[in-house]
Amino acid sequence: MTPADGMLQPQCICLIGAECTGKSTLAQALATHFGGLWVPEHLRTFCDLNGRTPRIDEQAVIMRTQFEQEEQVVALALQTGCGYVFCDSAPLLTAIYSDYYFSDRSLFDCAHALHGRYALTLVLQPDLSWQSDGLQRDSEVVRATVHSRVQRALQAMHVPHIEIQGQHDARLQAAILAVETLTG
């Protein structure tokens, strides 16, 4: 609850995973199921608008913009009484990609601090069929490597998380059960 108005603060749920793990689809489905809101991944918007992937000097802006968009949606959820905000990705994933592609670890401290806002972290397993998606997806090898880095980063941060796997409805049901642990 916020002290000023007695309103319940929405629960922010982070969906994190490597490329082609169904984050966007699942975030939207969870928002629909729980009557919540979702925050799209800013990296996708950036790539679509610029026709390219970001450079090293743009990584911090990508991370900050993701966080700012989450803040805007949290404010909207608070105004409208939505109990949940589902975040498609997280600043932590930007830090992981910056390290992977540019050997730049400078974003990790900020990403770790920002990750504390999530009530729950869902780690999406790379068990869906890999599909090319233009600029944002490199290969199954990259997906496996990034997935390992996500797991290591969360373990190093001591962030409790729930792994989500399965195809289609099974994946959605596993995520619904995970979110329900917040109220159970």
Q: Where are the beta strands (DSSP E) in the chain?
A: 11-16, 37-39, 84-88, 120-124, 162-164
Q: How far is CA 151 from the centre of its chain?
A: 13
Rounded Cα gap, residues 123 and 56, in angstroms: 25
Count of structural domains within the chain:
1
Give buried/exposed letters for 44-72 (b at 16+ CB in 10 A, else e): bebbeeeeebbeeeebbebbbbbbebbee
- What's the whole-number mean pLDDT along residues 65-88? 95
Q: Is residue 29 part of a domain?
A: yes
Give buried/exposed letters for 140-164 (b at 16+ CB in 10 A, else e): eebbeebbebbbebbeebebebeeb
pLDDT interval class at 8 (50, 70, 90) = confident
**Which domain covers residue 47, as residue numbers?**
11-180
- What's the whole-number mean pLDDT along residues 63-85? 95
pLDDT interval class at 4 (50, 70, 90) = very low
Average pLDDT of every residue of the chain: 89
The answer, as to whether pTM is greater than 0.85, is: yes
pLDDT single digits (tens) 101-131:
999 999 999 999 999 999 999 999 898 776 7
- In this predicted structure, the answer to whether residue 40 has a pLDDT above a threshold of 50 is yes
Closest CA to 175 of 184, 157, 163, 183: 163
Structure tokens at 5: 């108005």
Q: Is residue 69 part of a domain?
A: yes
Give the model's pLDDT for residue 136: 58
pLDDT interval class at 134 (50, 70, 90) = low
Q: Is residue 118 part of a domain?
A: yes
Give the model's pLDDT for residue 5: 52
Q: Is residue 130 part of a domain?
A: yes
- In this predicted structure, the answer to whether residue 6 has a pLDDT above a threshold of 70 is no
Q: Is residue 6 part of a domain?
A: no
Give the model's pLDDT for residue 1: 36
3-state secondary structure of 114: helix
The CATH number that applies at residue 156 is 3.40.50.300
Q: Is residue 1 part of a domain?
A: no
Q: Is residue 139 part of a domain?
A: yes
* CB neighbours of residue 101 within 10 Å: 16
Q: Is residue 4 part of a domain?
A: no
